[in-house]
């Protein structure tokens, strides 16, 4: 057998004998947790395949991962290499290299089979698609997908060309344009994989399939169970009118889901529809060209930077000089204490049980517990209706939750989460009551949106075990968790809280204790200024439409109605108490918080009248504005941008300068995940770098309002010509699209 390891500079590839002319090509990249297709790895693979082509004894080649414990087959291309490319031609050349190397699997004389165990994403899936056949393990972590559009690019190693040719255009488009990975059964049903077996039988199944193929035509062999595209779809995809219909439907879906700010799905659609009308060779060239355009774009750079920040937060980042701490967090099956069965408490209980934790939920009365149970069951029923949960899973998850009106049953809880009313006095009282019922090592986590963790610690006998764990509502959908360190919080308590958040599938961002922490503090001036614009006579519906055009998922008035005007006012008042006049809430917001009929969505009326999923402007609210219900002022999107987005940048810069978080990327990731700040713009600080901090400073100064004057950090960066991320082109990309907010009338 050929010694291929001597051909590789990375040591990523080795060959193992499977007998009878069958060999295993094992991908095991040294020093890495997962296998990645970097340029050096691809160049090594090309040399390996060249050598294997010359081996006359090789009849079948099975590609497998040498890292089964990682739960990943191949993670795809090296994201850092993609981030570093700024020249479209260079990006196209790199894509063409990947295409050419992986194409060798299809032209090799030997039968080629991909043995997929664990996640197969991006380039990993494209390598598997280049093989003659694919066998996947029936394993929870085995997912097969092409997620590139979520990074602002498209599958560039042949994915847009090979997948439609294997399973048909209509079946391939949702996989490519949506970016969501397929589980094993779905992949098998679509025909992406040819066999599904238990993990322990994966090698044997691949050898059996190779043997069958060699007996029945070699590379021309088609597995009997491969699920072919239905006849009517094959006809539709071949006829020009049918292809035009498929393209039109897909484009409308992209318009609805992504919108014009995200070019990658549109380019991926072009790659599929145009490329499949050409031969494979021409289609691959077209794919590589489109990859080059996208990789060099600011949208791609911003989305990739957010992805890398998110992955770093999920893995855990140690602060400079911080010693490592072993987090003795709860393992699956442990009992987590939960104090409070309200909306947040019920949502947390539902999430915890679904993630495999037992929940001991406490409230002051049985009636409150009943409301909590009803909320939990409602959430689970929604998942069952959407086919994300079976009825048996619903029953099992409900059985994981027990309710009580006392503090019995908390002694063995390694973590207790407090989700009671947002009152410091109440939270202190709850902490005093439960501490004697907890083990000494237990961590007490307060789910507060703005109250001081340091002040809360003053009520504790073990203040070092008290930490903030701020979940965002709705807790089952919002990925962000702020982990707040009080003055006395130990490193271990922070590590436990962060580790627990990751076990729930959340992204933890570590914050220092401070008014509003990070997200609410940065969001407050945005909401305050929106209400002031309304008081000055501007249309709330026009402002909302303009901000959605900027890239936000909803406008400021829609957001206020969603969170509740009383909640927004409470946070604003706390920040005013902490920061003085620059954070004073508008008079209208203070008045509205005491009107139970005008609290937003939960009362049915706020800036809008809410009827189910429908909403319309609220005439009663409009009469309270500066226009008094008559004609609004002429739309001024440029002013709205300076009044709404620039103050967010300014407050984010203050928080960063004060050490609330460590890095600009923490700010941006938190604002994207916690508020929906336009991901394609990268977050408020990347956005500031893209338009220039000098422009932000000048825009704020032009408003001539003391509360909006540029902060010290913004002024300093503007004077130096630097940005929050420095002058690295990868960190401060060119503006992504038109940064002006287009006029949007009611």
Structure tokens at 636: 């001024």
Q: How far apart are CA 432 and CA 259, in angstroms?
A: 51
Q: How far apart are CA 455 and CA 668, in angstroms?
A: 28
Q: How far apart are CA 144 and CA 193, in angstroms?
A: 9
Residue 729 C-alpha from the chain's centroid: 24
Residue 241 C-alpha from the chain's centroid: 37
Beta bridge partners of 359: 336, 401
- Known catalytic residue at 103: no
Question: In sequence order, what are the residues at sequence separation of 6 or more whose Cβ sits closer than 8 angstroms to the Cβ of residue 75?
Answer: 34, 35, 36, 119, 121, 122, 124
Radius of gyration of the chain from Cα atoms?
A: 28
**Cα distance between the two ends of the chain:** 73
Question: Active-site residue among 470, 576, 610, 739?
Answer: 470
Residue count (the chain): 746
Taking residue 590's Cβ as centre, other Cβ atoms within 10 Å add up to: 15
- CB distance 124 to 114 below 8 Å: no
Q: Please give the helix or strand (H or E) that residue 445 lies within, else none.
A: strand 443-446
Q: How far apart are CA 705 and CA 683, in angstroms?
A: 24
Give a three-class secondary structure readout of 673-738.
HHHCCCHHHCCHHHHHHHHCHHHHHHHHHHCCCHHHCCCHHHHHHHHHCCCCCCCCCCCCCCCCCC
CB half-sphere exposure, 720, CA atoms < 13 A:
12
**Alpha-carbon dihedral sign for residues 445, 450, 453, 458:** negative
Structure tokens at 112: 């080629």
Q: How far apart are CA 726 and CA 743, in angstroms?
A: 33
- CB distance 216 to 140 below 8 Å: no
Taking residue 499's Cβ as centre, other Cβ atoms within 10 Å add up to: 19
Helix axes 123-130 and 88-107, enclosed angle (nearest 10): 40
Beta bridge partners of 605: 600, 609
- CB distance 261 to 198 below 8 Å: no
Question: In sequence order, what are the residues at sequence separation of 6 or more whose Cβ sits closer than 8 angstroms to the Cβ of residue 295?
Answer: 82, 85, 88, 91, 95, 153, 156
**Alpha-carbon dihedral sign for residues 171, 176, 178, 180:** positive
Q: How far apart are CA 675 and CA 439, in angstroms?
A: 36
Helix, strand, coil percent content, the chain, rounded in steps of 5: 50, 15, 35
Q: Please give the helix or strand (H or E) that residue 671 lies within, else none.
A: helix 664-675
Q: How far apart are CA 467 and CA 447, in angstroms?
A: 9
Q: How far apart are CA 173 and CA 155, in angstroms?
A: 12
Structure tokens at 67: 């890292």
Within the chain, how many helices (H) and strands (E) appear? 30, 20
| Active site members | 470
């Amino acid at each position: 057998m050929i010694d291929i390891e001597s051909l590789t500079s990375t040591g990523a590839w080795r060959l193992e004998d499977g007998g009878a002319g069958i060999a295993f090509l094992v991908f095991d990249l040294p020093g890495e947790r997962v296998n990645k297709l970097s340029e050096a790895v691809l160049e090594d693979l090309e040399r390996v395949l060249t050598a294997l082509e010359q081996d006359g004894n090789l009849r079948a080649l099975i590609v497998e991962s040498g890292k089964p414990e990682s739960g990943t087959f191949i993670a795809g291309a090296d994201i850092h290499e993609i981030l570093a490319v700024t020249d479209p031609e260079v990006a196209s050349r790199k894509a063409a290299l990947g295409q050419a190397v992986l194409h060798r699997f299809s032209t090799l004389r030997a039968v080629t089979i991909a043995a997929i165990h664990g996640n197969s994403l991006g380039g990993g899936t494209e390598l598997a698609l280049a093989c003659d056949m694919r066998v996947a393990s029936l394993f929870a972590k085995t997912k097969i997908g092409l997620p590139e559009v979520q990074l602002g690019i498209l599958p560039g190693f042949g994915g847009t060309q090979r997948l439609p040719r294997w399973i048909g255009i209509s079946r391939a488009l949702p996989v490519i344009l949506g970016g969501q990975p397929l589980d094993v059964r779905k992949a098998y049903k679509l025909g992406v994989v040819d066999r599904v077996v238990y993990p322990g039988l994966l090698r044997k199944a691949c050898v059996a399939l190779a043997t069958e193929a060699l007996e029945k035509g070699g590379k021309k062999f088609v597995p009997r169970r491969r699920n072919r595209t239905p006849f009517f779809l094959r006809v539709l995809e071949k006829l020009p009118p049918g292809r035009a219909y498929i393209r039109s439907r897909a484009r409308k879906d992209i318009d609805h889901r992504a919108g014009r700010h995200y070019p990658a799905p549109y380019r991926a659609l072009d790659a599929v529809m145009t490329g499949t009308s050409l031969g494979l060779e021409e289609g691959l060239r077209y794919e590589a060209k489109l990859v080059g355009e996208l990789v060099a774009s600011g949208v791609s750079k911003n989305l990739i930077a957010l992805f890398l920040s998110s992955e770093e937060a999920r893995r855990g980042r140690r602060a400079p000089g911080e010693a490592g701490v072993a987090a003795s967090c709860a393992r699956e099956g442990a009992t987590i204490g939960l104090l409070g069965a309200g909306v947040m408490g019920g949502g947390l209980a539902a999430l915890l049980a679904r993630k495999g934790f037992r929940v001991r939920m406490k409230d002051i009365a049985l009636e409150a517990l009943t409301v909590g149970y009803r909320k939990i069951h409602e959430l689970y029923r929604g998942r069952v209706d959407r086919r994300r949960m079976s009825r048996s899973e619903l029953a099992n998850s409900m059985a994981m939750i027990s309710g009580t009106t006392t503090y019995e049953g908390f002694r063995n809880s390694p973590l207790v989460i407090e989700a009671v009313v947002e009152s410091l006095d109440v939270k202190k009282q709850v902490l005093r009551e439960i501490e004697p019922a907890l083990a000494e090592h237990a961590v007490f986590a307060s789910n507060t949106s703005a109250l001081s963790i340091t002040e809360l610690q003053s009520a504790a006998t073990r203040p070092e075990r008290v930490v903030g764990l701020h979940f965002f509502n709705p807790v089952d959908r919002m990925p962000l968790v702020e982990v707040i360190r009080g003055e006395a919080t130990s490193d271990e308590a922070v590590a436990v809280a962060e580790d627990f958040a990751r076990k729930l599938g959340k992204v933890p961002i570590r914050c220092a204790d401070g008014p509003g922490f990070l997200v609410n503090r940065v969001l407050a001036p945005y909401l305050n200024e929106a209400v002031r614009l309304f008081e000055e006579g501007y249309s709330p519906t026009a402002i909302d439409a303009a901000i959605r055009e900027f890239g936000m998922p909803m406008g400021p008035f829609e957001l206020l109605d969603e969170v509740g005007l009383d909640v927004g006012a409470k946070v604003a008042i706390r920040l005013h108490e902490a920061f003085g006049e620059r954070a004073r809430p508008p008079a209208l917001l203070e008045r509205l918080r005491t009107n139970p009929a005008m609290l937003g969505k939960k009362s049915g009326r706020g800036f809008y009248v809410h009827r189910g999923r429908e909403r319309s402007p609220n005439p009663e609210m409009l009469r309270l504005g500066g226009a008094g219900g008559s004609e609004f002022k002429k739309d001024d999107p440029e002013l709205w941008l300076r009044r709404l987005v620039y103050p967010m940048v300014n407050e984010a810069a203050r928080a960063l300068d004060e050490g609330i978080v460590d890095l600009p990327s923490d700010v941006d990731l938190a604002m994207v995940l916690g508020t929906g700040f336009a991901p394609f713009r990268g977050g408020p600080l990347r956005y500031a770098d893209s338009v220039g901090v000098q422009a932000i400073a000048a825009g704020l100064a032009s408003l001539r309002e003391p509360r909006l004057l540029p902060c010290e950090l913004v002024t300093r960066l503007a004077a130096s010509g630097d940005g929050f991320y420095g002058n690295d082109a990868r960190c401060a990309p060119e503006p992504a699209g038109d940064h002006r907010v287009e006029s949007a009338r009611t």
